[in-house]
Amino acid sequence: MSVVEAYEPDRSLKGKLRRRLVRLAHRRPARVDLGRPMVTFSFDDAPVTAAETGAAILEQRGLKGTFFFAAGLADRQGPMGLFAGEAEARRLAGAGHEIACHTFSHLDCGQADGPGTVADVTRNAEALARWKTPAAETFAYPYGDVSGPAKAALASRYRLLRALHHGLVEDGTDLNQAPAVGVEGPDGEATARRWLRAAAERKAWLILYTHDVADPPSAWGCTPGALARLADEALALGFEVVTAAEGARRVGG
């Protein structure tokens, strides 16, 4: 079994400036007027622990999540444990969860041009189609990064293109580079709870993401207890829990 090595995206000053500039281009503003706040629980790369433990925590509460699959990682070992594959994706889809799109190879869209990104995304969509899961409506940029040409090339393919910078989906938010809040690291749960309260006050849409759901988790994941507590708090605060696709339909204009 091949092993996926950890990758560090561009953290240089040039990379940071590029990320800020790209957020100003190729925008698709959301139209948000919600009667109650929304929250999405999403899982990047779909480690097996997310597909099993994470999904079970949501299902126990009658909730559905969004799983961003990079089919090229399927059934391989990585820094978050074993990645899920076709069998897990089909079970998740059958249970009503959203199977969403990453790039096939977990390509860094911030380092890739438009044609290269489209080719890798198309390969992933074709792989998911072979798994007989519903056509993906939403996409997440691996590492949260994207170049201008790649963002422009993907803009018409999905209802939502999700990044990793913190924020809420409110009126005018760019759906081609939507914010999200990570439940990862020592402060992940506390950070997510602060954003939950902000979204509740502003009747906005909050997209949460993590990777593995394990005890102990990787640096990119969370514990089962943290996920359960956040789901319970969202319900207690009156949130509607939606998949990324359902949320995007509501605010897509």
In sequence order, the 6+-apart residues with CB closer than 8 A to the CB of 118 are 150, 153, 154
The pTM assigned to this predicted structure is 0.94
Q: How far apart are CA 88 and CA 99, in angstroms?
A: 10
Could you give the number of structural domains in the chain? 1
- What does the pLDDT read at residue 110? 85
Residue 39 lies in a domain: yes
- Average pLDDT score over residue span 241-247: 98
Residue ranges making up the domain that contains 155: 13-251
- Average pLDDT score over residue span 191-215: 98
Looking up tokens 């040039």 gives: 14
Residue 3 lies in a domain: no
Residue 5 lies in a domain: no
Residue 4 lies in a domain: no
Residue 50 lies in a domain: yes
- What does the pLDDT read at residue 112? 82
Q: How far apart are CA 246 and CA 160, in angstroms?
A: 10
Task: Read off the CATH number of the domain in which 186 is found.
Answer: 3.20.20.370
Share of the chain above pLDDT 90, in %: 82
Residue 7 lies in a domain: no
How far is the CA of 139 from the CAs of 103, 185, 200, 202, in angstroms? Answer: 8, 23, 25, 25
Confidence of residue 253 (pLDDT cuts 50, 70, 90): low
Residue 132 lies in a domain: yes
Residue 1 lies in a domain: no
Looking up tokens 């949320």 gives: 247
Torsion on CA atoms 73, 163, 177, 187, rounded to nearest 10: 160
Q: Which of 78-82, 86-90, 144-148, 190-194 has the lowest mean pLDDT?
A: 144-148
Q: Tell me: the pLDDT tens digits for 136-173?
A: 999 999 988 898 999 999 998 999 999 999 999 999 99
Q: Which of 63-72, 110-119, 124-133, 175-184 has the lowest mean pLDDT?
A: 110-119
Q: Which pair of tokens denotes residue 237?
A: 């605060």
Q: Tell me: the pLDDT tens digits for 111-120?
A: 888 899 999 9
pLDDT of 9 above 90: no
